Chains A and B, each alone.
Chain A
Amino acid sequence: MTNGREVSRQGIELAVQQDVGIGQPDSDAAPGHAAALGPGGTVGRTATASPPIRLVGVSKAYRRGAQVVPVLTSVNLTVAPGEFLALMGPSGSGKSTLLNLIAGIDRVDAGSIFVGETDITTLDEADLARWRSRSVGFIFQFYNLIPVLNALENVELPLLLTPLSGRERRERARTALSMVGLSDRMDHYPGQLSGGQQQRTAIARALVGDPDILVADEPTGDLDRVSAGEILDLMDGLNRTMGKTIIMVTHDPRAAERAGRLQLLEKGELADAHP
């Protein structure tokens, strides 16, 4: 755990060095926009409103024919509100599965996952989907934007699940895109955007519904060093200024460095953070 603390300290140092603003390239990207997005209003309140995440004895196995392959064995993990957690580990260590379970897109075989007071493992499929739409923002390695929709429409997509009017939806989507520094790319289609811009659009989409938790699976895995740095800056800013809890799976040590806390996985179990 000593190394974890070190990483933690590094994160804070970085935070101090950096500008408090989130989307560097855009002047619109002032933290004040957070108020426009979230019902919480001020940054401070949003931070404290985030619920803690607590995994208790979580196990998961996959069946390959008659063979049962255990992926996670009795994992206990707590993520504090507003924490930026990086999950690292070799391929097949179960880090993506762990992320999927926390994000509510996969089911545990045993154990509970509490997010705030709610044990999400007890929700039925429809309720779980509703919970995801309210509470979780997704950031994928390959951005997963809808190619036939432009940036604004992509960001607007999660809001279709809310009772907001079309005008409010577009207003919020525009705000979210400004926050990631893409106010001049709103009518561009994913194919017309660079990888970094696509990932920033995806982050705006993850952000637009003002969820408490952001999950990111290899968010920089498909990006060059410069773009990856920008994306990490952006995520760091969201964590610090808006108090979003971020859980990120990564292979990239530079990405893990930016997280406040590093958790290693090995063969389906949590390992101490030895290098």
Chain B
Amino acid sequence: MASLFSYSLRNMLARRLTTALTVGGMALVVFVFAAMLMLSEGLRTTLVLTGSPDNAVLLRQGAKSEMESAVDRDQAPLVESLPQVARAADGGPLAARELVVLITLNKRGTTKPSNVVIRGIGTHSLELRPQVKLKEGRMPRFGTSEIIAGESIARRFSGTGIGESLRFAMRDWTVVGIFEAGATGFSSEVWGDVDQLMAAFRRSSYSVVVARMNERDGQAGLDGLRAGLAADPRLQLEGKRETRFYEEQSEMMAKFLGVLGTMLPAIFSLGAIIGGMITMHAAVANRVREIGTLRAIGFQRRDILRAFLVESLLLGGSGGAIGLLLASTLQFVTISTMNFQTFSELAFSFTLSPRIAIWSLLFGTFMGCLGGILPAIKAARLVIVDALRAA
């Protein structure tokens, strides 16, 4: 096994400009590829982190989102009294009846309205979501028109800072606190007393009931809960683990971004592959006599094939690495977009996972391989005496 690795590397480094341009082209494609996947991953992590695996979300059967769901006032206590629901410190069920409504608010400095989720919360809502913490101000008092806003809402929408007030459902609501919820969907919500909001919006049913399950971690808790729901004909509800529920909320978006993230770079990559192919064809054409010499000295066809393939893999690999490096800087960027599934604003950031890093590098080397294979075969096929005669 003769290794011409150093030969390949030197040749790549020797023609600086062509190498830089080819690697640059491939880096751009990998950048787009990685960025799209990071976007999709960011969305997914944000929504999955929103849920907690110990909680179950109870929705009307067939409801795909909290907005579509309805849990009647008389169903709620029945659900809460199921034995699979954990008990709170006060001995009552550790569960919260919640209302989810969309309102439109203007972004700060514009008159452009966007959808914002208003969540009516119960006394245990905060206990059920340990990832939600009050950052500034205080919690709203139950029985009043006080609300708190998620930090990414407070930052971006007018009237959502502490001391400011919002008008919706024919009432004025005073913001008394800002809460932080990390990279979760709650950061993009406004919370208030569920009973006040029900009255203001003239709703007769809750959207969902969120309950802590008795048996932690196991599937048993959820199965038990489902069995309990099925046993009672008054409860036409279904229970989902909260993490799974939020993951489903992101599936369509994530899939859309995933498809976009694969299709767009796939098309761009054609350009980069052709660029690599031209570079490698030129590299072979300029070194025909060199190839003839190597073959005469005793290197086999496969050594030549490998040398040129390694050269193009080095091009593609460096392109992949540089593209990934560029994309990794996007992690510091937070973007906000409409989640088409819930029609609400959702803020999330580009998230780099090891899987994305590996795929990006593979994509780069794949482009290099595809661009280099034909020129490498051409090089390996040269007839020695003809190659030695080349100018």
Interface residues of chain A, those whose CB is within 8 Å of chain B, are 100, 103, 105-106, 125-126, 129-130, 132-134, 138, 140, 142, 144, 146-149, 153, 157-158, 160-161, 205
- In angstroms, how far is the closest chain B Cβ from the Cβ of A77? 19
Q: List 21 A-B contacts (CB under 8 A).
A: A105-B385, A105-B388, A106-B385, A125-B301, A129-B295, A130-B298, A132-B298, A133-B298, A138-B293, A140-B293, A144-B292, A144-B293, A146-B293, A146-B294, A148-B11, A149-B6, A153-B6, A158-B298, A160-B4, A161-B297, A161-B299
Chain B, 377-391, CB within 8 A of any chain A CB: 384-385, 388
Q: How far is the CA of A225 from the CA of B384 in the complex (A)?
A: 30
Does B300 lie within 8 Å of A129, measured CB to CB?
Answer: yes
Most buried by A among B7, B294, B297, B385: B297
Cα A100 to Cα B289 in complex, Å, equals: 15
Binary contact track B10-21/A, C-beta < 8 Å → 1, others 0: 110110000000
Taking CB as reference atom, which chain B residue is nearest A158? B297
- Residues of chain A within 8 A (CB-CB) of B292 are 144
In the complex, the answer to whether B296 meets A126 with C-beta atoms within 8 Å is no
B296 and A161 contact, CB distance less than 8 A: no
Does B223 lie at the interface of the complex (its beta carbon under 8 Å from any beta carbon of A)?
Answer: no
Answer whether residue B290 sits at the interface, using C-beta atoms and an 8 A cutoff: yes
Chain A residues, Cβ within 8 Å of B295: 105, 129
**Chain B neighbourhood of A148, CB < 8 A:** 7, 10-11, 13-14
Not counting A148-B7, A149-B10, A157-B297, a sample of 7 additional A-B residue pairs whose C-beta atoms are within 8 angstroms of each other reads A105-B295, A140-B293, A147-B14, A147-B290, A148-B10, A148-B11, A148-B14
How many angstroms between the C-alpha atoms of A158 and B301 in the bound complex?
A: 15
Contact residues in A for B4 (Cβ distance below 8 Å): 160
> Whose C-beta in chain B lies nearest to the C-beta of A141?
B388
CB–CB A149/B298 < 8 A: no
0 or 1 for each of B359-391: is its CB under 8 Å from A? (1 = yes): 000000000000000000000000011001000
5 tightest A-B contacts by CB? A133-B298, A148-B10, A144-B293, A105-B384, A148-B14
The reply to whether A161 and B7 form a contact with Cβ atoms under 8 Å apart is no
CA–CA, A142 and B292, complex, Å: 13
Q: CB within 8 Å of A: which of B123-175?
A: none
Report yes or no: A144 in contact with B299, Cβ–Cβ below 8 A. Answer: no
Q: How far is the CB of A101 from chain B (nearest CB, A)?
A: 10
B236 within 8 A of A: no
Contacts of B301 in A (CB 8 A): 125
A100 touches B385 (CB 8 A): yes
Contact B296 A103 (CB under 8 A): yes
Distance of B335 from chain A, by nearest CB (Å): 45
Shortest CB-to-CB span from A190 to chain B, Å, is: 11
* Interface size class, chain B: 20 to 34
Measured between alpha carbons, how far is A56 from B6 in the docked complex, in Å?
Answer: 42
Q: List the interface of chain B (C-beta within 8 A of A).
A: 2-4, 6-7, 10-11, 13-14, 289-290, 292-301, 384-385, 388
In the complex, A103→B295 CA distance in Å?
A: 12
CA distance A149 to B7 in the complex (A): 7
A129 touches B385 (CB 8 A): no
Instruction: Write the nearest CB–CB distance from A192 to chain B, whole angstroms.
Output: 14
Query: Judging by beta carbons under 8 Å apart, are B7 and A105 in contact?
Result: no
- Compute how far the CA of A138 lies from the CA of B290 in the bound complex, rounded to whole angstroms: 13
Most buried by A among B6, B289, B293, B384: B293
Looking at A103, A105, A205, the one whose CB has the most chain B CB atoms below 10 A away is: A105
Smallest distance from the beta carbon of B18 to chain A beta carbons, Å?
14
Chain B residue at smallest Cβ distance from A211: B298
Do the beta carbons of B7 and A146 come within 8 Å of each other?
A: yes
Q: How far is the CA of A149 from the CA of B13 in the complex (A)?
A: 12
Q: When chains A and B are docked, how far (Å) is the Cα of A138 from the Cα of B293?
A: 9
- The minimal Cβ–Cβ distance linking B323 to chain A, given in whole angstroms, is 26
A126 to B299, CA, bound (A): 9
The answer, among B11, B13, B296, for a CB contact under 8 Å with A138, is B296
Given contacts A105-B295, A132-B296, A149-B10, contact A144 B2 (CB under 8 A): no
Residue numbers in B under 8 Å from A140 (CB-CB):
293, 388
B10 touches A129 (CB 8 A): no
Distance from A126 Cβ to chain B, minimum over Cβ atoms (Å):
6
State whether A132 and B297 are in contact (beta carbons under 8 Å apart), knowing that A105-B385, A161-B2 are contacts in the complex: yes
> What residues of chain B lie closer than 8 Å to A133, measured between beta carbons?
297-299
List B contacts of A153 (CB < 8 A).
Answer: 6
Known: A106-B384, A106-B385. A129 touches B298 (CB 8 A): yes
For B13, B298, B300, which residue has the most chain A Cβ atoms within 10 angstroms?
B298
- Complex CA–CA separation, A265 to B21 (angstroms): 51
Tell me the smallest distance from the CB of B92 to a CB of chain A, in Å: 76
Q: Which residue on A lies nearest to B12, using beta carbons?
A: A148
Chain A residues in 8 Å Cβ range of B294: 146, 157
Contacts of A157 in B (CB 8 A): 294, 297
Q: Which residues of B contact A142 (CB under 8 A)?
A: 289
The smallest beta-carbon distance between B382 and chain A, in angstroms, is 12
A130 to B: closest C-beta gap in Å: 7
Residues on A with C-beta less than 8 A from B297 are 132-133, 138, 157-158, 161, 205
CA A158 – CA B296 in complex, angstroms?
Answer: 10
B298 contacts which chain A residues (CB < 8 A)? 129-130, 132-134, 158, 161
Docked CA distance A153–B7 (Å): 9
Give chain B nearest CB distance to A108 CB in angstroms. 13
Contacts of A144 in B (CB 8 A): 289-290, 292-293, 388
Q: Which residue of A lies closest to B386 (CB)?
A: A106
Which B-chain residue is minimally distant from A163 (CB atoms)?
B1
CB distance from A29 to the nearest CB of B (A): 23
Nearest B residue (CB) for A132: B298
Which residue from chain A places its CB closest to the CB of B8 in the assembled complex? A148
Q: Are B3 and A160 in contact (CB under 8 A)?
A: yes
A133 to B385 CA separation, bound complex (whole angstroms):
16
Q: Which residues of B contact A134 (CB under 8 A)?
A: 298
CB distance from A62 to the nearest CB of B (A): 10
